[in-house]
Amino acid sequence: MRMEIVEIVLVIAAVLVGIVLLLTGGKAADSAVSIIKSALGG
């Protein structure tokens, strides 16, 4: 059950990052990666 939740969260995160990259032209790529890593506890 937990793995399914993790996969859903990863998909949502990927979509959000894609939207951010489209809106910013890729300028926020590094900060987006940092946000994802911190969200994943990395």
pTM strictly above 0.75:
no
Q: Which residues of 11-36 are buried (b: 16+ CB within 10 A; e: fewer)?
A: eeeeeebeebeeeeeeeeeeebeeee
Number of domains in the chain: 1
Condensed to tens digits (0 to 9), the pLDDT of residues 1-42 reads 678 998 999 999 888 888 877 777 766 667 777 777 788 775
Domain span at residue 29 reads 2-39
The CA distances from residue 9 to 12, 22, 25, 27, in Å, are 5, 20, 24, 23
C-alpha span between 23 and 16 (Å, rounded): 11
